[in-house]
Structure 1
Amino acid sequence: MSTRFSKGQKWSFSLGNGVEWFINAAFNLWVFTFYFTAVGLDVNLIRTAFIIWTIWNAINDPLIGYISDRTHSRWGRRRIFIMIGIIPVLVLEILIWLPPLSGEMAQFFYLLIMLILYDTAYTLIALPTDSLFPELYTTVEERTQVNTMRQILAAIGLILAALIPGIFIGDQATVDGYLMNGIVTTIIVGVSMVIFLKWGAIEREEFKLDYQQGFSYFQSLKHTFKNKGFVLYIIMFFLYEFILLLLATIVPLFAAEVLGTTSAFETSILMGALYIIGIVSMFLWKKIDVKLGGKVGYGLSMLAYVIASIPMLFITSYIQALIAVIFMGIGFGGMLYFIWYIVADCIDDDELKTGVRREGSFFGIANFFMRLSMVLSITTISLVFTETGWEEYTPNAGINVISGLRFLFVIVPAMALGFSLVCLLYYPFSKNKVLEMKGKLAELHESKMSKVKST
């Protein structure tokens, strides 16, 4: 195992991933519920805001990724963006929960502006943080170790995103608790990002000249989409994020209408159990990764999740749901572990073909599809709600709404994961292929280091 980076550096770096997931999950889990139930905004206006936001992301995310790849500064080509994005994210995490008290169109435009500003600042943090993982840790051993650390802290971030709002929000249909939750979230993120930047976010010398790429923006996009493995990965990643965002959005409503609990804390426990079991199961998935490789491991994790979710079609009590969620957490932990791990193989393959590391371009496109998945999730929810007569929030909505929520919770994710399994069959990076690439990369990186030392 490589000793290039200390355990402290690896954990500090992984903390950045935990913060990224914490703030993103806290946003995704509650922003729809807040504007739908507490503010009372029409579901179709919420959907419209998310669609416009996604159009912005079509420009914003890939462009920031490309610029990051081409940046050369005294703080590196990744850290500088993280430093710029921190303060805006902290401020906007509070402002998102302070909409106008009246006026539906004023609330709509406020939501739209907050989505655009928040996402831009979040991208400045998340995209370079994600880009640093495959760039810093290039061996199978280091990536396996650090990916486990990253996903453990990501799962802890998800747990905190589920539990902390449950403490402060209280009644989901009242506004006040959401603001306090935003303030607490801001404090946690601020402290954690200082640790991440000071001890974790470093950059490797041998890639110091990779900003001299010679690709235009559109040439970079072309090279990225010519990577067959990445195209298949993006489809799987899109569907994974769709499922994650769909569940995060409907769980508070599922708990209230299907399980009969309106307590934000009990809802948080439900989500927290999924993430806690996910953390524990990662040690199992790490062993499967070492033995069978990421491609096979990801397929097994998807199958495990789908099978475990089937009882949610029939469950009627909170305790039954909690037991089912515990079993779902095993497959969820595997999906979380592998989806952020296998993309590094696509980037390594690209480096062998182009001669440079272009993580920013890859993660810029991935971030765009992550946001696009939010639109699909909101659109899917709004269509099901409209079909069941639930365009505006009313408690105890009836049997049609309950059936719709079960459909969203179980059937839709199963269909998405089924399509992902088909894509995985054609995914080119088997365990043997990855090991073959590692030998070629080691030679390439030695050549790059020689060039850096000669300048």
Structure 2
Amino acid sequence: MQAENNSGKLSVIEKVGFGLGDTASNILYQAWSFFLAIFYTDVFMLPTGIASYLFLATRVWDMVFDPTIGMIADRTHSRWGKFRPYLLWLAIPYGALAWAMFITPNWGLNARIIYAFVTYILATTAYTAINIPYSSLMAVMTPSPKERTSLSRYRFLFAFLGMLIITTFTLPLARLLGADPSHPGYNKDLGYSQALGFQMTMAIFGAIAVLLLFVTFFTTRERVLPPEGQASSFRQDLKDLSRNGPWIILFISAIFFLVHNAIRNASVLYYFDYVNGHGKDILLSAALGPMTLDFSRSTAFLTIGTFGMIAGVLLTYPLTKSFGKKPLIIFFTLASVVLEMSFYFLPPSNFVLLSSVNFAWSILAGGMPVFLFAMYSDVADYYEWKFRRRATGLVISGIMFAIKAGIAVGGFLTLKLLDIFEYVPNQPQTEGSITGIKLMFSIIPGIFALICGLVLVFYPINEEMLQNIEQDLKEGRRSRMDRIELDPVHPADSAV
């Protein structure tokens, strides 16, 4: 591994290459967020109660695996570094499992339940084994907090590109690729087989993800080295992490932020299919050679929101020149709560109004993760500065543990609330069910976002403190490199 350069400046090619890794990650993550719940209840035909425990059990395993892969990555020694190798080694299993999750075997209920558990657990394991090292990579590509904020901006610009692919093309491609009247799942009213459509669509997306992960591997480098002679101790790492106050604040906020995301994202299709009632109505058709892609109201709503999120990412650039990350993330979070809760009171039939408010909300929602993930890397530097040990993988995987906990709780609550509200798939809903879906789309996730914003008020690291940390660490690393140059017995690569 090469040592860091003095400025920490990264090329645009490296930033783009890094960002494409999150395009690959979001192909599966956004498929989970927007389509997995309704796929399991309305296509795979799992009872909502069973599906809720499937989400919970799978994510509990994922939470346990997060810190494990983080500590393993911290102790990985290879000619490619600590974190990049996982992108190379696991890209193909990741893409294959993204496809396997959305296969609907023509089996009995018990066999399908087992298949769903196995494929979901394997897919989340592959996702974690790639995403933890990938997220940790940002903290070791450059020592500069400003460059990491820029890198985070690239990351989420391309993350939302992945989201745009999923939200815009999943349903049209499923309709196109599932239009086989001979398939057992073919629905005459819909004009296609949802089971076949999802399966073929995710096969395409999985292949794209594999190629993008290879691009990220070949275009990025690791530059920030752990302190020379750092001892490797799981127990000490965990002890130090438990005393990292800023990390604890981000850990708690991440749980509430992702509970919010999981409930809100999963509720979109339920809202348009059963509250608005016209989610599957075709708004636009586009010719693709001899084929035609049909874009429904649900797809249009999701696509408009994704463009709003991309705008939010771009907006962070001028804002961070004048304001710190902490005040910005608090403002964005609390302002988004107001817009999100307003959906409960908006007329469900007014698609233009719904889409307009959603675009405004999405601008705020798109900017929030840019600040948050830059802050996650900042606390990795804080950890090294305070404890004189670097454990990037553990710091990031600990945050990812919280993220997965939020997804677990949010996914469980989504399906459990549907069960409580007496949701019945593919049928007209009762007034109580409609009210419940409206709450899940607005008030309930808004409460979790509000708590997230209030927790972040207590985050203690500001931009001035970050500059001091950066300077102290830079001087320490420069001193370490001077010692290495005087002692050729210990080359720089020995610190990998």
Give the TM-score category using the shorter length. over 0.9
- Kept in 1: contact 2:230–2:389 (CA 8 A): yes
Asked if 1:300 is matched to 2:319, the reply is no
RMSD: 2.1
Match of 1:207 in 2: 225
2 CA distance for matches of 1:265 and 1:412?
A: 26
Return the match for 1:122 from 113, 127, 137. Answer: 127
Match of 1:228 in 2: 245
Q: CA deviation at 1:110?
A: 1.0
Deviates more, 1:213-222 or 1:405-414: 213-222
Asked if 1:107 is matched to 2:115, the reply is no
Q: CA deviation at 1:452?
A: 4.5
- Kept in 2: contact 1:38–1:173 (CA 8 A): no
1 CA distance for matches of 2:407 and 2:325?
A: 26
Task: Structure 1 unaligned segments of length 5 or more: list them.
Answer: none
Q: CA deviation at 1:57?
A: 2.0
Return the letter of the residue paired with 1:302. Answer: T
Match of 1:254 in 2: 271
1 CA distance for matches of 2:161 and 2:271?
A: 23
Match of 1:32 in 2: 37
Match of 1:270 in 2: 301
- Kept in 2: contact 1:135–1:357 (CA 8 A): no
Asked if 1:408 is matched to 2:440, the reply is yes
Larger Rg: 2
Q: CA deviation at 1:90?
A: 1.3
Return the letter of the residue paired with 2:219. Answer: W
Matched residue SS, 2:106: coil
| TM-score, scaled to structure 1 | 0.93
Against the structure 1 CA distance between its residues 51 and 23, is the aligned structure 2 distance closer, same or farther, given a 3 Å change threshold?
closer
Superposed CA deviations along residues 188-225 of structure 1, whole A, max 9, x for unmatched, are: 1122122111112x111x51666x64243233222212
| TM-score, scaled to structure 2 | 0.86
- Kept in 2: contact 1:348–1:437 (CA 8 A): yes
Match of 1:178 in 2: 198
1 CA distance for matches of 2:75 and 2:227?
A: 10
2 CA distance for matches of 1:241 and 1:147?
A: 18
Identical amino acids, percent of aligned pairs: 22
Against the structure 1 CA distance between its residues 51 and 218, is the aligned structure 2 distance closer, same or farther, given a 3 Å change threshold?
farther
2 CA distance for matches of 1:120 and 1:294?
A: 31
Return the letter of the residue paired with 1:296. Answer: P
Superposed CA deviations along residues 15-57 of structure 1, whole A, max 9, x for unmatched, are: 1122222321123322221111011101111122222212322
Against the structure 1 CA distance between its residues 225 and 266, is the aligned structure 2 distance closer, same or farther, given a 3 Å change threshold?
farther
Task: Structure 2 unaligned segments of length 5 or more: list them.
Answer: 1-5, 176-189, 281-294, 491-496
- Kept in 2: contact 1:208–1:452 (CA 8 A): no
1 CA distance for matches of 2:136 and 2:163?
A: 20
Return the match for 2:379 from 326, 346, 368. Answer: 346
Match of 1:75 in 2: 80
Q: How many residue pairs get matched? A: 451
Return the letter of the residue paired with 2:442. Answer: V
1 CA distance for matches of 2:59 and 2:313?
A: 32
- Kept in 2: contact 1:274–1:325 (CA 8 A): yes
Against the structure 1 CA distance between its residues 26 and 450, is the aligned structure 2 distance closer, same or farther, given a 3 Å change threshold?
farther
Match of 2:178 in 1: none
Q: CA deviation at 1:161?
A: 1.6
Q: CA deviation at 1:12?
A: 1.0
2 CA distance for matches of 1:23 and 1:213?
A: 36
Superposed CA deviations along residues 370-426 of structure 1, whole A, max 9, x for unmatched, are: 222222112222332233222x42422122112111211111222112212221121
1 CA distance for matches of 2:75 and 2:385?
A: 18
Matched residue SS, 1:175: helix
- Kept in 2: contact 1:207–1:448 (CA 8 A): no
Matched residue SS, 2:10: coil
2 CA distance for matches of 1:442 and 1:69?
A: 20
Match of 1:192 in 2: 212
2 CA distance for matches of 1:99 and 1:78?
A: 34
Deviates more, 1:25-34 or 1:2-11: 2-11
- Kept in 2: contact 1:37–1:173 (CA 8 A): no
Matched residue SS, 2:278: coil
